């Protein structure tokens, strides 16, 4: 029976790959569909050769499915063969994925690390084989094996969130609840740093009162935090980028505080998935009269939440731009040229040459113009749009 199911899975997979268009090649035999390549566009006709390998962190968050879709859209017209693999939140699997791609002869690796420190080993394995390594969205730390980094301006993401909350707080003593991303993701520090830049002066002057982190309260007079200090706060309020962990933490925080710590509240939520969990939890508390909650990624479900007034804002990171930057970089390397970069990020060992993209704040007022009229999403994906 098991064998039959496995066979069925492989068959369905192969069929769906062929259905994706172009010449599809099944190159891996595994019965676990979550680790399967999602797109193989073998333009060379040689099933063993792949020019560009792409490794994304997980299929369990809409953000990375969005990236996969945008990669597929952008790659339709290239002459190079590409394969996308998902690591499913597991660094060991991520390394196996990279090794599998190296074995297929990739010349460029575009990798969004599950864990920025653990991924150093995967980057080093690729580099050793002469592969150019492009860190995608998340920096890989502690190694000289990263050649380039394509990213959004992540400090600006955090600043936009902080500013959104600050602009809506009147008077003194507004309850503030802080949440962060996974400590294994370098971006979580950049987002938090940006938010702290804006929120700390507003905490210091009494506009906000932090309600859910003793570490943040202990550090609230410090305008600039070290990485270790941020790690102490993130350790307390991390969501681990996990919807359930976000929900459990929010529930625990609301249980721990009194009625006077609720009312009209302000919530720094690190991304859309966690924002929806946290918002639902706060909305269900009878002592919460109103809440302002941040997010990022412009995930479809959050766009609907914004239209419905259940999430206040999102930071729109146009994945099409990031995908194009990564592909253009890869193609430039494949052609023997030096990719264009606009700055650098230090990863603890080297300054990694980087190309950075700006972000846009989206709320109810501009959601239609920013995300629908711009062609990013079709209006038919949402209800209640005017």
Q: Which residues lie near ligand BGC (CB under 6 A)?
A: 61, 63, 137-138, 181, 185, 187, 241, 271, 296-297
From the CB of 371, what's the least distance to ligand BGC, in Å? 15
From the CB of 181, what's the least distance to ligand BGC, in Å? 6
Q: From CA 249, how far away is CA 179, in angstroms rounded?
A: 9
Q: From CA 282, how far away is CA 137, in angstroms rounded?
A: 30
355 Cβ neighbours under 8 A, 6+ residues apart: 148, 149, 150, 151, 325, 329, 339, 340, 341, 342, 343
From the CB of 26, what's the least distance to ligand BGC, in Å? 28
Q: From CA 121, how far away is CA 339, in angstroms rounded?
A: 24
Q: From CA 109, how far away is CA 29, in angstroms rounded?
A: 22
Q: Which CB atom, from 208 or from 305, has the smaller least distance to ligand BGC?
A: 305
Q: Which CB atom, from 63 or from 211, has the smaller least distance to ligand BGC?
A: 63
Residues in the chain: 386
From the CB of 48, what's the least distance to ligand BGC, in Å? 32
Q: Which CB atom, from 277 or from 296, has the smaller least distance to ligand BGC?
A: 296
Q: Which CB atom, from 40 or from 250, has the smaller least distance to ligand BGC?
A: 250
Q: Which CB atom, from 38 or from 174, has the smaller least distance to ligand BGC?
A: 38
Question: Closest Cα partner for 107 from 323, 329, 325, 322?
Answer: 329
Q: Which CB atom, from 97 or from 296, has the smaller least distance to ligand BGC?
A: 296
From the CB of 95, what's the least distance to ligand BGC, in Å? 19
From the CB of 241, what's the least distance to ligand BGC, in Å? 4
* CB-count exposure of residue 48 (10 Å: 0-12, 13-18, 19+): exposed
- CB-closest chain residue to ligand BGC: 271
Q: From CA 73, how far away is CA 67, in angstroms rounded?
A: 10
């Amino acid at each position: 029976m098991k064998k039959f199911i496995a066979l069925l899975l492989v068959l369905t997979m192969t069929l769906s790959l062929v259905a994706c268009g172009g010449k599809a090649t099944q190159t891996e035999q595994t019965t676990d569909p979550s680790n399967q390549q999602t797109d193989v566009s073998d333009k060379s006709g040689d099933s063993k050769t792949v020019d560009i390998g792409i490794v994304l962190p997980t299929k369990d968050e809409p953000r990375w499915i969005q990236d996969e879709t945008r990669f597929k859209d952008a790659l339709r017209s290239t002459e190079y063969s590409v394969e996308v693999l998902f690591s499913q939140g597991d660094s060991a699997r991520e390394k196996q994925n990279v090794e599998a791609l190296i074995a297929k002869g990739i010349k460029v690796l575009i990798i969004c690390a599950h864990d920025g420190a653990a991924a150093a080993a995967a980057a080093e394995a690729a580099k050793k084989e002469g592969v150019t390594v492009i860190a995608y969205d998340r920096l890989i730390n502690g190694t000289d094996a990263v050649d380039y980094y394509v990213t959004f301006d992540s400090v600006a993401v955090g600043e936009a969130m902080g500013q959104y909350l600050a602009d809506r707080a009147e008077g003194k003593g507004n309850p503030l609840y802080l949440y962060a991303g996974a400590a294994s993701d370098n971006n979580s520090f950049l987002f938090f740093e940006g938010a702290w830049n804006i929120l700390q002066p507003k905490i210091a002057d009494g506009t906000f009162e932090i309600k859910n982190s003793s570490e943040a309260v202990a550090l609230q007079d410090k305008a600039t935090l070290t990485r270790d200090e941020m790690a102490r706060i993130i350790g307390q309020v991390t969501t681990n980028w996990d919807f359930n962990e976000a929900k459990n933490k929010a529930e625990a925080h609301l249980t721990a505080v009194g009625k006077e710590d609720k009312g009209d509240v302000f919530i720094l939520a690190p991304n859309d998935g966690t924002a929806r969990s946290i918002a639902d939890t706060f909305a269900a508390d009878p002592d919460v009269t109103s809440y302002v909650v941040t997010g990022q990624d412009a995930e479809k479900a959050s766009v609907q939440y914004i239209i419905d007034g259940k999430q206040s804002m999102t930071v729109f990171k146009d994945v099409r731009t990031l995908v194009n930057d990564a592909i253009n970089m890869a193609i430039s390397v494949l052609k023997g040229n030096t990719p264009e970069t606009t700055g650098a990020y230090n990863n603890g060992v080297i300054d990694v040459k980087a190309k950075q993209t700006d972000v846009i704040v989206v709320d109810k007022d501009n959601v239609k113009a920013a995300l629908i009229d711009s062609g990013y999403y079709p209006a038919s994906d949402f209800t209640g749009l005017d």
